[in-house]
Structure 1
Amino acid sequence: MRRNYSLDFFRGVMAFCVAIGHYFYWNGNFSIPLSFILAVDYFFILSGFVLAFSVLNKKEFNCFSFAKARFLRLYPVYIFSILLTFIVLKLLHHHLGKLDFGDIVRILIIGEILPFVQSSSFIFFEPLGLSWSISAELWVGVIFFPVLHFFDKKANQLVFPFLMLIILICFFIINNYSTNYMNIHYHKFDKLMPFGLIRALLGYALGAFIYIIVKYMQNNSTKKSENIISVIQIIIVFFIIYFYAKNDYIKNNEYYSIFLFSLMIISLSFNKGIIFKLTNNIIGNWFGKISYPLYLLHPVGIVINKEIIFSDIFSIPALLFYIIFISIVSILTHIFVENKFLLYFKSKSTKTMKNY
């Protein structure tokens, strides 16, 4: 399947939304919508969609190879971002406390969202805090996708109700027990279950669910009208902007962003429509490539901008510098860290890495 750069484009847009949102909120300026926190749900749903395509089109599936591939895919940028941020904070004389053994284990296994005992004096600095979503993607994924593959190959008629059940249960839990709408990650549903894991499971299940829908529509429907798909894409983008792009948006609407994201991914997956054509290009390609480094590296950009470069961090020059700086750092990280390691791992285990 030819890569859909439009889906990558919106992943990059969501990463920029998070980066700009944190720039303002972490510096005490609440003049922009808090809805940037919903971008993480787009990441989960898109990952679920893409991984479902990979997993469900396999005759042979090895859960250990899958887990290894996912870990190696996420780890280089993750650990580089942590080390770079740690070094910058130390050079700026930030007090970070002392690492204990539990902290080291949690960092090394990308285990931020796992229920470790939080008793150390080590300060949880960014991007470690942001890595709850990376941790959730890894650990939920290595359980969810093997189970999904098993159902698909051994009990295919159960895949659809299995995914529906997960979506309904997760949505019900978040909708009824969330302490802060969708702005929950380390918050606990119970003593052992952070909401972040439930949020990731919901996104993965939705992504897999819409992959099955798209596959069915592509196999059983007549040729899709370009004009109809364009209208659908415009309407979806309009509703996303209408509900979430204002500072006083209704928090109750946060729950429905996941379904709007799902509809957007479905509409773009047909490789047609005006929004697809505008974003399925080299810009979309690069937005996708830098989205992961950008998500983890923007905290160090905020620190550098605030403590070294500008006194007025909300000025136009300061904001432009921040956006250009994190873009360049993310591009360099993709080229010299992410891509280099991916090529290295592929050379060591081509079959494993190319499949996931």
Structure 2
Amino acid sequence: MRIEQLTFTRFIAASLIVIFHYGIDIFPFNLQKTMFLGANIGVSYFFVLSGFVMIIAYHKKQKISVLNYLRNRFARIYPVYLLATLILVGYYLVATNVDVKPIDLILNITLLQSWVPAKVLTLNFPGWSLSVEFFFYVTFPLLFNYLYKKFNYKKLALPILFFFVISQLVFFYFFYSEHYQGQHTISHNLLFYFPVIHLNEFLIGNLIGLYFVQREYKTRNNSFFILGLIILCALILAYGNAIDYHNGLLAIIFAPMILLISYDHGWISKLSKSKLFIHLGEISYGVYILQIPIFSITRRLLMYLGITDKTIIFYGCFLVLIVTSSITYKYIETPLRKKIKSIKLAQ
């Protein structure tokens, strides 16, 4: 089962993260810098959506075959991830003085960087979320085979919500305690990027996925409510910046938003199902994971050509990123995914 109208939301989340990294000072985002300083919550949306989509994809199975399942998950994320890492490493070695340490490369290639706080943001730093995502992938068969196939969403709601609340309390306790030493420290990396810290977001996504597949509900025009949640989220980021939302607190908005979009047949759903928006959603993974190497290389080339205007550089880089993501989706991501999935593994 594929819910088409959700596909474009991936592109929105990926674009928000690109803006967070490169576009906060660029028009029109500089008109509301405070809001876009919180645009990295797009990663949190990815985690919740991932939990939802995993249930949608596997709910009809009686049991997940672990080896084949991990092969498919590997095929989904790794080829373009590896490509982005190697492009960036090549750029660093050829065109910069950045020292590429072997341990950093090993941790990044093996998707283990998020487990080592001192190394979590080395090389292609958005890759930390893929390291976390792969932890979710490894965890999911256990959850699915031993919990989700035995209990319905009503029985699972309380323990998942309890885990979510405890996770938020632990995060904010340490964030406001003397143990937290600020950005660019081990305490920051451990609190913000360690995989277990983000498990609550994935579980919330699982819960709403179980709700969606186990409860009959007719589609309706939810566009007004979806728009209201989007505005609420924007207002929270713009005026509620006293709180850090990095550990998935906004899942309380993302979860109902995902459900409303999934059930929607209004103008938002119809617009999101257009060929252009579906395509942008499909290339969103490339937009996210290729942003650092593409922006680094393109910005250097533009400046070499004498282009120094920050706005032109940002939009030029973003355009190159979209084109590159489209090419890699068609000629690398999709073919390699099919090739890897065709590999026969023991049951």
After superposition, where does 1:168-187 map in structure 2 within 5 Å? Answer: 168-178=165-175
Change (3 A) 1:15 1:189: closer
Structure 2 alignment gaps of length 5 or more: none
CA RMSD after TM alignment: 3.3
Change (3 A) 1:196 1:99: same
Change (3 A) 1:251 1:116: closer
Q: Does 1:140 align with 2:136?
A: yes
Partner residue, 1:15: 14
Partner residue, 2:198: 200
Partner residue, 1:98: 101
Check conservation: 1:52, 1:145, Cα contact below 8 A.
no
**Greater mean deviation of Cα atoms: 274-283 or 32-41:** 274-283
Aligned pairs, number: 333
Check conservation: 1:110, 1:134, Cα contact below 8 A.
yes
**In structure 1, the residue corresponding to 2:96 is in which secondary structure?**
coil
One-letter identity of the residue aligned with 1:200: H
Which of 290, 300, 308 pairs up with 1:307? 300
Which of 207, 211, 236 pairs up with 1:243? 236
Check conservation: 2:113, 2:121, Cα contact below 8 A.
no
Task: Return the alpha-carbon distance in structure 2 between the equivalents of residues 146 and 312 of structure 1.
Answer: 53
Which of 159, 163, 166 pairs up with 1:166? 163
Partner residue, 1:284: 277
How far apart are residue 169 of structure 1 and its match?
A: 2.2
After superposition, where does 1:73-84 map in structure 2 within 5 Å? Answer: 73-84=76-87
**In structure 2, the residue corresponding to 1:131 is in which secondary structure?**
helix
Q: Could you state the TM-score of these two structures normalised by the residue count of structure 2?
A: 0.83
Partner residue, 1:55: 58
Can you list the C-alpha shifts for 1:140-195, whole angstroms capped at 9, x where unaligned? 331244223311234557433332232222222223323699x999964897x864
Check conservation: 1:41, 1:258, Cα contact below 8 A.
yes
Change (3 A) 1:116 1:249: closer
How far apart are residue 6 of structure 1 and its match?
A: 2.2
Task: Return the alpha-carbon distance in structure 2 between the equivalents of residues 330 and 318 of structure 1.
Answer: 18
Change (3 A) 1:315 1:117: closer
Change (3 A) 1:187 1:262: farther
Check conservation: 2:89, 2:100, Cα contact below 8 A.
no
One-letter identity of the residue aligned with 2:137: G
Q: Does 1:298 align with 2:298?
A: no
Change (3 A) 1:89 1:26: farther
Check conservation: 2:6, 2:261, Cα contact below 8 A.
yes
One-letter identity of the residue aligned with 2:174: Y
**In structure 1, the residue corresponding to 2:139 is in which secondary structure?**
helix
Change (3 A) 1:26 1:107: farther
One-letter identity of the residue aligned with 1:171: Q
Which of 195, 214, 217 pairs up with 2:212? 214
Task: Return the alpha-carbon distance in structure 2 between the equivalents of residues 60 and 186 of structure 1.
Answer: 42
* Percent identity of paired positions between Structure 1 and Structure 2: 20
Check conservation: 1:4, 1:280, Cα contact below 8 A.
no
Check conservation: 2:163, 2:200, Cα contact below 8 A.
yes
Check conservation: 1:186, 1:194, Cα contact below 8 A.
no
Q: Does 1:316 align with 2:305?
A: no
Task: Return the alpha-carbon distance in structure 1 between the equivalents of residues 295 and 61 of structure 2.
Answer: 42
Which of 219, 227, 231 pairs up with 2:224? 231
Q: Could you state the TM-score of these two structures normalised by the residue count of structure 1?
A: 0.81
Structure 1 alignment gaps of length 5 or more: none
Check conservation: 2:108, 2:127, Cα contact below 8 A.
no
Task: Return the alpha-carbon distance in structure 1 between the equivalents of residues 185 and 79 of structure 2.
Answer: 23
Change (3 A) 1:251 1:274: farther
Check conservation: 1:81, 1:297, Cα contact below 8 A.
yes
Partner residue, 1:268: 261
One-letter identity of the residue aligned with 2:157: F
Q: Does 1:344 align with 2:342?
A: no
Check conservation: 1:290, 1:331, Cα contact below 8 A.
yes
One-letter identity of the residue aligned with 2:109: L
**In structure 2, the residue corresponding to 1:57 is in which secondary structure?**
coil
**In structure 1, the residue corresponding to 2:61 is in which secondary structure?**
coil
Change (3 A) 1:83 1:190: closer
Change (3 A) 1:99 1:26: farther
Which of 226, 244, 250 pairs up with 1:257? 250
How far apart are residue 249 of structure 1 and its match?
A: 4.8
Check conservation: 1:12, 1:287, Cα contact below 8 A.
yes
Can you list the C-alpha shifts for 1:262-305, whole angstroms capped at 9, x where unaligned? 11101011142222122122122112211111111111222124
Partner residue, 1:112: 113
Task: Return the alpha-carbon distance in structure 2 between the equivalents of residues 7 and 123 of structure 1.
Answer: 29
